[in-house]
Amino acid sequence: MTPAKAVAARFWIWTAAVALLLTLFAVQLAPRLQFETDILALLPRDTRDADAARALDRFADQLGRNAVFLVGANDFATARGAARRFADTLRSSPAFAEVTLEVDAAWPEKVADIYRPYRDGLLSARARGWLLGGNDAALLAQARQALYTPAAFMRRSGAGADPLNLFGDFLADTSPVGGNLTLRDGVLNVASGGADAIQYVLVRAVLSANAFSTAEEDAAAPALDAAFAAAHAAGASVSGSGLIQHAVAASRLGQHEVKLFGSVQLLGLVAILLWVFRSGRVLLLSAAALGVGVIAALTVCHYLFGRVHVLTLVFCSNLAGIAIDYSIYYCADQFRTPGRWRAADALPFIGPAIGMSCLVSLMSYALLAVAPFPGLRQIALFCCIGLLGAYGCVIAWFPRWVRPAAPAVAERLSRFFGRAQALRERLVTTRTRWFWLALIALTAAGLWRVQVQDDVRVLQPDTPQLAQQEKEVRDQLGDSVDSRFFLVRAASAEALLQAEEQLSQRLDSLRAQGQLKSYNAVSRALPSAQRQAQNHELLAGSVFSDSGLLPRFMRELGFAPAAIAERLAAFGKGVAPLTADAWLATPAAEPYRHLWLGDIGGGIFASVVTLSGAGDTALLRTAADGLPQVSLIDRVANVTEILRRYRSIALWIVAASVFASALLLAVPYGLRRGVRLMLAPVAAVLGALAVLGLCGVAVTFFHVVALHLVLGLSMEYAILLQLPELRGPSTLLSATLAALLALVAFGLLAFSTTPFIHSIGLTVSIGVLLGFACSAALGTIPARSRSISTD
Amino acid sequence: MRIAASLLLLVSAIAAAAPASPSPDAAADPVFAHPAEAKELDALLGPAARALAGAAAVRGEFSQRKSLHELPQPLVSSGDFLVARGIGIDWHTRVPFDSDLVLTPQAMVQRDGGAEAMRADAATQPGLGAVEQVFDALFALDTPKLAERFTLYGLRGKEGWTLGLKPRDAALAKMIDSIVISGSEQPQRILLHETGGDRTEITFTRQTALGTLSEAERKHFK
């Protein structure tokens, strides 16, 4: 096949493929393309324990649906009125499944009714302790207190039916933590301390679906906005706590940044292309190449991952920054032979360099995907496919469709870059050894000062306003759930409850030592069948026997013997214990439902025990010692550990990339030149690290990922500027434009409010500058490289 | 989310296990024919309220008679109390048993001979806050605070004044039908009608308004 025929064949095959892709995208994908906004979805799963991961997913989903709002004003009536309007506004949105303001006054009675048939097997933890320890005095003191003193107003069972308040104490024990809230006028109220105290009213909301599905956010966000506005209009302020606000903020920020950065970049791109090539055709073709790349990338990601992460989209801009280079390289070739150039001429000359550059980028992204980091894999795949798409367009379409620019423009640009080329060579050859030594010393000093950080905070957008709200809610409620919790797993619901009870015993002793403020476990409201049987036995032995505590105390209160005998006879009239299934079906389970994960598949039952005011992690870990069903989950530490591990993996990948690239370059150019070509990229990577070190920026996993991008980009500049056969104004123009566009793309990312996008943008910007400068400098170092090239 | 999910339960403390039938003579006191604003009451109560309102704490002795319809005989007790405004209530029963109960917004503590015998956090005793707030305002005759939760009534008689309270809050009304406080120089008697017909009568003697709390007293509430 002649070259011309080959060009034609490529053109038609590629055009057909693109047509197919576009049809597929328009028909299949575009209507149901979904974006993921959960930042944690970027992180790798802990693959060592799939059951745990499944259980944690379920817990996180349940937790993520809940939100708490405090509507505050200077007086209670205003706060209450505003809270009502706030709640009503949320209720009118289908995004919220449940919005609670008023408290059901009959609820405790309902709960008492649910437990009453099982009361002969129910005991509070402390009453059980007294009975087990034979501490009758304490039990009686509690009973008297609940009859005579103001504490009587807190008792939850009748004095006649339950003189010892054993059932009442159990009911009080099942009431989960209420923090500082008190009930007032049917709503939950808390007042800040101080002279001009603010009165807060609590509103609780449950989302219909996961907070992080964008569809939900789209529905929830306007409802939240409207509710906040309604409360403000009623003279109150609102503070919220819950994932939804963060999800909405992250999504808005992401979309805002995608739009802002995208449009600024597009403008820059259009301006530069028009300025250089003065051709609408080149602009259109470049846009087509980019478009095909992005659509191909979206399509593949959609099929492989199900959902495209919104941060992958932010990376679109960096894909564009690299993919546009191929168009530029191709079109800039016309300035090699201004006036005589034909589009097809460029292919044999610049084609291999573009191919090499694409190959190197692909490899560098592919290496990025080696790390089992889902977010990175998606970004890597997205970029690989995108680059391939753009490369295909350039190779297939450009030889046929590009027209040379007007001769005058070509002449002028060619002259300009010719002068620039001369200047570059003069500058570099007049360098002094001292300058280089100082630079190396500075780099070494910078590298010496490099610090690392693996904190989870690098993942979260900086939203001080939301953090302030969270803090206010926490401060007012006086109860915050720790990010550490226990996951309990067992082969049956009964075994699960028994394991929880074993754990509770240890947690109780931690509480007694002041190492834990409180904890919340399902088994508090639902004792295991085993525990219920034990309780029954205890009650039968020391309370309801003829000489037991109950007849003694009833006599003290003046009950007639007949009444006492009747009460004793009523004990233990053969009611089966309360089972998990029965309990779960009642409203009594409501406050605990989020802790009960139930059957998580594979015949495993799971539940969560949450902690509040917990101390040292090591102490908590000892609480799980010897209990194989219990594991302590520390999400913050997990994420930190993951980030730390992958930071070091990513560093190794960068190092591996250097060697792999040198070998890859050695195939066409020889080992020596391969190594030489890697000098500038390595210098750029080290230099970027050194700059971060000198500026005192702590290096995170994401900085290292950025270094990887620096390596790939710098290799392009090195290939263009250092290969003698490509030397000339046209390649200098190509490299300059490429670096400029990459700088625009990543410089914009440096303005992102999401810390890790900012890190990547900043690092790559520094690296691109350094890589371009080093490639330009090394490109004119004469002597050996030139003698080799002339072989 | 534990906080949120569990809040519903708070009501429990107040609504307790309220018996079903309301008492026939619960609101029979003539004071309930005379609704009053908090401000008018201040004038009505006169020096009694002013002395107590400025005090950091009120100390005194009580004797209490609780008539519970479920029990065959009334529960009679006596002892002394200390209400420290905004800090807590110390309810020390001496007869027929010795039991010192300290209620603060954070915890309910039972002391034996000065040592802590039993402690329950507000976390496990939901409603503690509300009970503590109501008693605090009640014993200190803090009419503006009381007006937040009750409709107020007032009447001046030959021997002194009578103050009537009816809960506005549905949950509180499930438990308390009405409260009548009477006194002359100082509040002398609180009569608490519960919704189920139970009634509690507390008589005060030897009340003293304290300007400050001593360090020992303060420590007592820790």
- Cβ–Cβ below 8 Å for A108 and B148: no
Asked if the C-beta of A143 comes within 8 angstroms of chain B's C-beta atoms, the answer is: no
Kindly list the residues from chain A whose CB atom is less than 8 angstroms away from the CB atom of residue B129: 180-182
- Nearest residue, CB atoms, A107 vs list B8, B99, B129: B8
- Nearest residue, CB atoms, A138 vs list B18, B103, B117: B117
What's the rounded Cα separation, in Å, for the pair B185 and A615?
52
Range of the domain at B95: 22-220
- Cβ–Cβ below 8 Å for B2 and A154: no
In the 8-state DSSP scheme, what is residue B57? E
Place of tokens 């015998």: B117
What's the rounded Cα separation, in Å, for the pair A519 and A173?
12
- Nearest residue, CB atoms, B103 vs list A111, A150, A518: A150
Query: Which amino acid type is present at position A179?
Result: G
Q: Counting beta carbons within 10 angstroms of the beta carbon of residue A424, is it exposed (0 to 12), middle (13 to 18) or buried (19 or more)?
A: middle
Kindly list the residues from chain B whose CB atom is less than 8 angstroms away from the CB atom of residue A587: none
Kindly list the residues from chain A whose CB atom is less than 8 angstroms away from the CB atom of residue B170: 105, 185-186
3-class DSSP state of A34: coil
- Nearest residue, CB atoms, B110 vs list A111, A145, A171: A145
User: Structural domain boundaries of chain A?
Assistant: 1-32+278-405, 103-179+476-633
What's the rounded Cα separation, in Å, for the pair A108 and A172?
10
- Tokens for A344, please give them: 């097809």
Q: Counting beta carbons within 10 angstroms of the beta carbon of residue B176, is it exposed (0 to 12), middle (13 to 18) or buried (19 or more)?
A: buried
- Nearest residue, CB atoms, B14 vs list A152, A183, A558: A183
- Nearest residue, CB atoms, A173 vs list B112, B124, B169: B124
- What pLDDT, on a 0 to 100 scale, did the predictor assign at position B20? 38
Asked if the C-beta of A142 comes within 8 angstroms of chain B's C-beta atoms, the answer is: yes
- Cβ–Cβ below 8 Å for A175 and B124: yes
Size of interface A-B (CB pairs under 8 A): 220
| Spatial CA neighbour of A353 closest among A733, A788, A716, A736 | A716
Torsion of CA B195, B199, B204, B209, to 10 degrees: -20
3-state helix, strand, coil in chain A (%, to 5): 70, 10, 20
What's the rounded Cα separation, in Å, for the pair B199 and A152?
12
Task: State the total domains in chain B.
Answer: 1
- Cβ–Cβ below 8 Å for B75 and A66: no
- Cβ–Cβ below 8 Å for B75 and A147: yes
- Mean pLDDT score, B113-132: 70
| Spatial CA neighbour of A203 closest among A172, A224, A177, A176 | A224
Residues whose CB falls within 8 Å of the CB of residue A445, separated by 6 or more in sequence, listed in order: A690, A693, A694
- Tokens for B148, please give them: 């937040």
Residues whose CB falls within 8 Å of the CB of residue A684, separated by 6 or more in sequence, listed in order: A710, A711, A714, A767, A768, A770, A771, A774
Asked if the C-beta of A515 comes within 8 angstroms of chain B's C-beta atoms, the answer is: no
At residue B86, what are phi and psi to the nearest 5 degrees? 75, 0
Asked if the C-beta of A138 comes within 8 angstroms of chain B's C-beta atoms, the answer is: yes
| Spatial CA neighbour of A726 closest among A771, A679, A667, A673 | A673
pTM of the model: 0.77
Report the 10 Å Cβ neighbour count for A558. Answer: 12
- What pLDDT, on a 0 to 100 scale, did the predictor assign at position A462? 67
Kindly list the residues from chain B whose CB atom is less than 8 angstroms away from the CB atom of residue A242: 1
pLDDT for residue B205 is more than 60:
yes
- Nearest residue, CB atoms, A156 vs list B16, B112, B129: B16
Asked if the C-beta of A591 comes within 8 angstroms of chain B's C-beta atoms, the answer is: yes
Regions of chain A short of the pLDDT cut 70: 1, 37, 39-40, 44-48, 176-179, 194-195, 210-218, 314-318, 371-372, 406-407, 428-432, 457-462, 479, 574, 780-791
Asked if the C-beta of A645 comes within 8 angstroms of chain B's C-beta atoms, the answer is: no
- Cβ–Cβ below 8 Å for B66 and A148: yes
- What pLDDT, on a 0 to 100 scale, did the predictor assign at position A150? 82
Q: What percent of chain B has pLDDT over 90?
A: 19
- Cβ–Cβ below 8 Å for B7 and A481: no
Residues whose CB falls within 8 Å of the CB of residue B92, separated by 6 or more in sequence, listed in order: B79, B80, B81, B82, B99, B100, B101
Q: Is residue B63 part of a domain?
A: yes
Give, for A632, the enclosing helix (H) or strand (E): strand A630-634
- Tokens for A425, please give them: 């060579």
- Nearest residue, CB atoms, B125 vs list A172, A242, A612: A172
Give, for A642, the enclosing helix (H) or strand (E): helix A635-669
In the 8-state DSSP scheme, what is residue A699? B
| Spatial CA neighbour of A173 closest among B106, B69, B121, B134 | B121
- What pLDDT, on a 0 to 100 scale, did the predictor assign at position A686? 95
Asked if the C-beta of A168 comes within 8 angstroms of chain B's C-beta atoms, the answer is: yes
Report the 10 Å Cβ neighbour count for A670. Answer: 14
What's the rounded Cα separation, in Å, for the pair A730 and A716?
15
> Which of A:215-254 have CB within 8 Å of B?
242
Asked if the C-beta of A63 comes within 8 angstroms of chain B's C-beta atoms, the answer is: yes
CATH code for the domain in which residue B170 is found: 2.50.20.10
What's the rounded Cα separation, in Å, for the pair A288 and A211?
36
Residues listed for chain A: 791
- Nearest residue, CB atoms, A158 vs list B2, B17, B108: B17
Q: Nearest C-alpha of chain A: how many angstroms from B16?
A: 4
- Nearest residue, CB atoms, B11 vs list A66, A107, A591: A107
Q: Nearest C-alpha of chain B: how many angstroms from A210?
A: 14
- Cβ–Cβ below 8 Å for A145 and B121: no
- Cβ–Cβ below 8 Å for B4 and A66: yes
- Nearest residue, CB atoms, B10 vs list A145, A188, A518: A188
- Tokens for A672, please give them: 């020596």
Instruction: Determine contact, residues A472/A239, Cβ cutoff 8 Å.
Output: yes
Kindly list the residues from chain B whose CB atom is less than 8 angstroms away from the CB atom of residue A560: 72
- What pLDDT, on a 0 to 100 scale, did the predictor assign at position A379? 85
At residue B124, what are phi and psi to the nearest 5 degrees? -100, -5
- How many helices (H) and strands (E) are present in chain A, helices listed first? 29, 13
Q: Nearest C-alpha of chain A: how many angstroms from B158?
A: 31
- What pLDDT, on a 0 to 100 scale, did the predictor assign at position A45? 65
Asked if the C-beta of A68 comes within 8 angstroms of chain B's C-beta atoms, the answer is: yes
Q: Which of B1, B146, B151, B168 to mutate to test the interface with A (most CBs of A within 10 A)?
A: B1
Asked if the C-beta of A594 comes within 8 angstroms of chain B's C-beta atoms, the answer is: yes
- What pLDDT, on a 0 to 100 scale, did the predictor assign at position B13? 36
- Cβ–Cβ below 8 Å for A138 and B174: no
- Cβ–Cβ below 8 Å for B17 and A168: yes
Residue of B nearest to A188 (CA): B7
- Mean pLDDT score, B32-57: 79
What's the rounded Cα separation, in Å, for the pair B21 and B29?
19
Asked if the C-beta of A103 comes within 8 angstroms of chain B's C-beta atoms, the answer is: yes
- Cβ–Cβ below 8 Å for A68 and B13: no
- Cβ–Cβ below 8 Å for A183 and B105: no
Q: ipTM value of the model?
A: 0.84
- Cβ–Cβ below 8 Å for A477 and B12: no
| Spatial CA neighbour of A726 closest among A329, A338, A420 | A329
Asked if the C-beta of A107 comes within 8 angstroms of chain B's C-beta atoms, the answer is: yes
Place of tokens 């693959």: A47
In the 8-state DSSP scheme, what is residue A42? G
| Spatial CA neighbour of A302 closest among A317, A286, A291, A313 | A313
| pLDDT tens figures, B38-49 | 777 777 877 777
- Tokens for A260, please give them: 């802002």
